[in-house]
Chain A
Amino acid sequence: MHPAPSLIVFTVFSGLGFGLLAWLGLGAALGGPVPLGWAAFGWYGLGYGLAGAGLIASAFHLGHPERMLLAFTQWRSSWLSREAVLAVATLALMAPHAFGSVFLSAPLPVFGALGGALALVTVLATAMIYASIRAVPRWHHWTVPAVFLSAALAGGALLAGQALAGAALLATLAAALVAHWRIGDGRFRASGSDAGTATGLGGLGTVRLLEPPHSGRNYLLREMVHVVGRRHAMKLRAIALGAGVALPLALVLLAPASPIALGLAALWHAAGMLAARWLFFAEAEHVVGLYYGREPARA
């Protein structure tokens, strides 16, 4: 699949923002920070800023962003619509808690807990946009929500200054990433789709593309048959694990009390997740490639 920068920024930063808001909202219940005054202004500003920046980035992916309000209507069937509704509901529910913490030194933990829980459901909905697509076998699996949720919780913990929880969640994220990659490599073959089923001619013999329908490019090839960079998959996996997990983990374990170390850890984590998310799109094979002579890479 085409790794569109707008979608990489959207998923990584809205994940971080909602992860931080989950920690801030559920803080009282989970023993996290309950900042007040200017500290609250900085933290909630960061949470709202990251989530908002991610959502705005997603609008750059649209051909007609002026019709965006229609995307809130089909929550009964569409995970994309659910994500939009949940994101706005989270930001709205969290607002009284944030306002009370910043301006009145009076947090409203009920709104905080509700908003924090909804923030996690929003991240789940983001993951399900991809995990619900059966035509991309690598995505159609529970490891996708596992990666998105553990990344949001780990990144949020680092931003919220939770060294111990952050370390544990980073380890969880590493396990989720490795599972997503290892299981993902066999998903295309497990889907049962090949050139034989795509054409219905598999019973007659071995099917291969003789002539494509056109000599140039088209929307389908650009959007869904992206192959550039797949050969660097192993290097990118190492970079994602190193920058996204190992380096931040070392930083929080060496200096758990240092805000600078936690800040650096969060930055490295975000950089690693950008690489991981680029790869998430770039190495996902769509079954439509079978009509264009693209057999999946063998695991």
Chain B
Amino acid sequence: MTSLPAPPDRKLGLVIDLDTCVGCHACVIACKGWNTETYGAPLSDMDAWGAEPEGTFLNRVHSFEVRRDDAPPMVVHFPKSCLHCDDAPCVTVCPTGASHKRAEDGIVLVNEDACIGCGLCAWACPYGAREMDAASKVMKKCTLCVDRIYNENLSPEDREPACVRTCPAGARHFGDLADPDSAVSQLVAARGGMDLMPEQGTKPVNKYLPPRPRDTLATPPLRQPAPEPDQAPASGFLGWLDRALDRL
């Protein structure tokens, strides 16, 4: 059913800390590894050993530069995956009912057996969170590792999305964002967690924590060559030579 459910009581999602992310892409690889082995069609690679390799990924890390007027430029690594939006446009456009948002925990999923591969949901998503797999011809997207988080065959510490479990910097957090007392909600409140492209009206569940203010060091203005150090007049023989050459 591609109508959206009533706002769920639980909203599982991710909180991504742009201050802490080091841009190592470990989450990208952990995601691809887990989601190729288990849930649904594998994430294929095309021309993997050829001249133009490419593949399907559910999570990718972009790196941005922020240029500031009164401070040096800042590099921000930016992991991006499905935001499991409350008002998910990718769900309502689906003609077959394959794309859906779960009423019990708000996870947005694709039923691959019902996907006709029309690609309209990927067009409707402003974030580029969906990719059509070139081998299986069905739409792939982040499942929030729905096959890990409820999986009682895994030890409790592994019952979180693969990207969160693997992040060596602790930049990714998983929890219930509908519960104001959850660790992730408190993190969002404390750090000013934000939505991506709020003007698109999607009401994302995932939040991003902005970089903390950096120390300001008393450095000379950048982008200008440092001034030549003031030269004290030389003394002795070199001083005489300097003055003699000046007089020539």
Which of B18, B52, B127, B132 interacts with A219 by CB under 8 Å?
Answer: B132
Q: Are B64 and A208 in contact (CB under 8 A)?
A: yes
A147 vs B68: C-alpha distance in the bound complex, in angstroms? 44
Q: A287 at interface (Cβ–Cβ under 8 A)?
A: yes
Which of A74, A191, A288 interacts with B95 by CB under 8 Å?
Answer: A74
| Known contacts A78-B94, A192-B199: A70-B116 contact under CB 8 Å | yes
Q: B26 at interface (Cβ–Cβ under 8 A)?
A: no
Q: Are B93 and A193 in contact (CB under 8 A)?
A: no
Q: Are B131 and A80 in contact (CB under 8 A)?
A: no
Q: A67 at interface (Cβ–Cβ under 8 A)?
A: yes
Q: B169 at interface (Cβ–Cβ under 8 A)?
A: no
Q: How far is the CB of A120 from chain B (nearest CB, A)?
A: 21
| Contacting residues, chain A, for B211 (C-beta < 8 A) | 201, 204
| Known contacts A76-B3, A78-B92, A135-B200: A67-B114 contact under CB 8 Å | yes
Q: Are B93 and A132 in contact (CB under 8 A)?
A: yes
| Contacting residues, chain B, for A299 (C-beta < 8 A) | none
A234 vs B2: C-alpha distance in the bound complex, in angstroms? 39
Give the contacts of A114-150 with B (CB-CB under 8 A).
Answer: 129, 132-136
Q: How far is the CB of B135 from chain A (nearest CB, A)?
A: 10
| Contacting residues, chain A, for B126 (C-beta < 8 A) | 134-135, 193, 286-288
| Contacting residues, chain B, for A67 (C-beta < 8 A) | 96, 114-116
Q: Which residue of A lies closest to B23 (CB)?
A: A211
Q: Are B122 and A224 in contact (CB under 8 A)?
A: yes
| Contacting residues, chain B, for A209 (C-beta < 8 A) | 62-65
User: Using a Cβ–Cβ cut-off of 8 Å, how many residues does chain B contribute to the interface with A?
Assistant: 68
| Contacting residues, chain B, for A200 (C-beta < 8 A) | 18, 194-196, 208, 210
B203-214 contact mask (Cβ, 8 Å, vs A): 1 or 0:
000001011000
| Known contacts A71-B95, A224-B123: A205-B66 contact under CB 8 Å | yes
| Contacting residues, chain B, for A81 (C-beta < 8 A) | 95-96
Which of B55, B65, B116 interacts with A68 by CB under 8 Å?
Answer: B116
| Known contacts A200-B208, A219-B134: A207-B64 contact under CB 8 Å | yes
User: Using a Cβ–Cβ cut-off of 8 Å, how many residues does chain A contribute to the interface with B?
Assistant: 59
Q: Are A134 and B125 in contact (CB under 8 A)?
A: no
Most buried by B among A134, A136, A195, A217: A134
Q: Are B95 and A62 in contact (CB under 8 A)?
A: no
Which of B25, B28, B65 interacts with A207 by CB under 8 Å?
Answer: B65
Give the contacts of B61-76 with A (CB-CB under 8 A).
Answer: 61-69, 73-76
Q: How far is the CB of A241 from chain B (nearest CB, A)?
A: 27
Q: Are B115 and A206 in contact (CB under 8 A)?
A: no
Q: How far is the CB of A233 from chain B (nearest CB, A)?
A: 20
Q: B56 at interface (Cβ–Cβ under 8 A)?
A: yes
Q: Are A199 and B122 in contact (CB under 8 A)?
A: no
Q: A229 at interface (Cβ–Cβ under 8 A)?
A: no
| Contacting residues, chain A, for B75 (C-beta < 8 A) | 210
Q: Are B74 and A216 in contact (CB under 8 A)?
A: no
A61 vs B138: C-alpha distance in the bound complex, in angstroms? 12
Q: Are A134 and B2 in contact (CB under 8 A)?
A: no
| Contacting residues, chain A, for B187 (C-beta < 8 A) | none
Give the contacts of A71-95 with B (CB-CB under 8 A).
Answer: 71-74, 76-81, 84
| Contacting residues, chain A, for B199 (C-beta < 8 A) | 191-193, 197
| Contacting residues, chain B, for A203 (C-beta < 8 A) | 210
Q: How far is the CB of A149 from chain B (nearest CB, A)?
A: 21
Q: B220 at interface (Cβ–Cβ under 8 A)?
A: no
Known: A135-B125, A219-B122. 11 other contacts (CB 8 A): A63-B115, A67-B115, A70-B96, A76-B3, A78-B95, A81-B96, A134-B89, A204-B210, A207-B66, A213-B61, A288-B128
B interface residues (Cβ-Cβ under 8 A, vs A): 1-4, 18, 25, 28, 52-57, 60-69, 73-76, 78, 80, 89, 91-98, 114-120, 122-128, 131-132, 134, 137-138, 194-201, 208, 210-211
Q: What would 19 A/B residue contacts be, using CB atoms closer than 8 Å?
A: A70-B96, A70-B114, A80-B93, A80-B95, A84-B95, A132-B93, A195-B64, A199-B64, A199-B78, A200-B210, A204-B74, A206-B66, A209-B62, A210-B65, A213-B62, A214-B57, A217-B54, A291-B62, A291-B127
